[in-house]
Homo-oligomer: A and B are copies of this chain.
Amino acid sequence: MDLTARIRSGEGGFVLFAITPPRRSTPVDRLPDIARVTIDRLSHRDLDGLVLYDIDDESTRNPSERPFPFSPTVDPSTYRADYLQGWTSPVIVYRAVGKYDREGLQTWIEQQNPATTLTVMVGAASSGARPAVSLADAQAMRADLNPGLLLGGVAIPERHSRREDEHLRLLAKQEAGCQFFVTQVVYDLNAAKNLVSDYRYECQERGLDPVPIVFTFSVCGSMKTLEFMRWLGVDVPRWIENDLRHATNPLTASLEQSATTAVEVMDYCRRLGVPFGLNVESVSIRREEIEASVQLAEQLVAHLNP
């Protein structure tokens, strides 16, 4: 079964790889090469799909200075259409809905082929922002204009640690049409398990079937990457920071640690009967961190299909 069929039937068991399109400042004549390198790197890895992030300037969300300067990226849908035609399995295209005007988003939704495209809609980063299109508007558009287009939402275990209501947010998104969820990068295993657990029992309470939750993992090979993850809101434990400061090969250590965390999350989801998927991204653009992320994805594929 391919990715869309699995999600439609409420099943998990798939592995995705997530990339961020190149910066808009990249010379256009370099884009084909960048895309080719990505496809070469990710093909033949038995991945079930590709995730394309849509980066918004999140400086309204976090007053601290961004460790990597924000730089607008090529629109993920355009990038895919123009350069990623060689990618054959389904693609989950993120939409940071606050970036678009109503008409542009409507057109985009209408034009997508539900057999090969899925979308994750993300609301504005800060509740203070006043976007042209709210997340609720965008979800309603999808239901009206292209109800077959599979819709996902974001799930943030760290928010659950602080507010203890993320499972209720997921259920509200599910009512608005979400058929799967994708987490941000998971480093805090307990936070992830707490969210899965509360979600699972709330579904049971309401007589609903849980939908697949896609857990995102990454490696962290430098202090800069760690700082950036923290800026993005990921709770990175102190021991990982210490390892990074002192390890001769922090990347290897991080790869092992992420694989261990992923296996524990999988085991836990299986035990609770919550369908799950796995997503691997490289938070950093350093080559060795990207390659270690690909290795992580391969390990997870091997673990899922022994």
Closest to A253 in B: B271
Q: Is the CB of A238 within 8 A of B189?
A: no
Q: Which B residues are CB-close (under 8 A) to A204?
A: 246
Tally A residues with Cβ within 8 Å of B.
25
Contact A193 B253, beta carbon cutoff 8 Å: no
Q: Is residue A198 contacting chain B, with contact meaning CB distance below 8 A?
A: yes
Query: Shortest CB–CB separation between residue A52 and chain B, in angstroms?
Result: 31
Q: Which residues of B contact A101 (CB under 8 A)?
A: none
Pair B194/A238 contact, Cβ less than 8 Å: yes
Give the oligomeric copy count. Answer: 2
B197, B237, B268, B271: the one within 8 Å of A193 (CB) = B237
Given the known interface contacts A190-B188, A190-B189, A190-B237, the answer about A197 and B253 at a Cβ–Cβ threshold of 8 Å is no
A219-240 interface bits toward B, Cβ cutoff 8 Å, 1 = contact, 0 = none: 0000000000000000001110
Q: Are B188 and A242 in contact (CB under 8 A)?
A: no
> A74-88 CB contact bits vs B (8 Å, 1 = yes)?
000000000000000
Whether the Cβ atoms of A239 and B188 lie closer than 8 Å is no
Query: Nearest CB to that of A257 among chain B residues?
Result: B268
Nearest Cβ on chain B to A210's Cβ, whole angstroms: 14
Query: Of B197, B237, B242, B243, which one neighbours A242 at CB under 8 angstroms?
Result: B197
Given A188-B190, A189-B190, A264-B260: A238 in contact with B198 (beta carbons within 8 A)? yes
Q: Is A201 an interface residue (CB 8 A)?
A: yes
Check B239–A190 contact: CB distance below 8 A.
Answer: yes
Whole-angstrom distance between the Cβ of A268 and the nearest chain B Cβ: 8
What CA separation (Å) do A243 and B242 show in the bound complex? Answer: 32
Which 3 A-B pairs rank lowest in CB-CB distance, beginning with the nearest? Answer: A197-B239, A193-B239, A197-B242
Identify 14 residue pairs between A and B in the complex whose beta-carbon atoms are under 8 Å apart, listed by A's number.
A188-B190, A190-B190, A190-B237, A190-B239, A193-B239, A194-B238, A197-B238, A197-B239, A197-B242, A197-B243, A198-B242, A201-B245, A201-B246, A260-B267
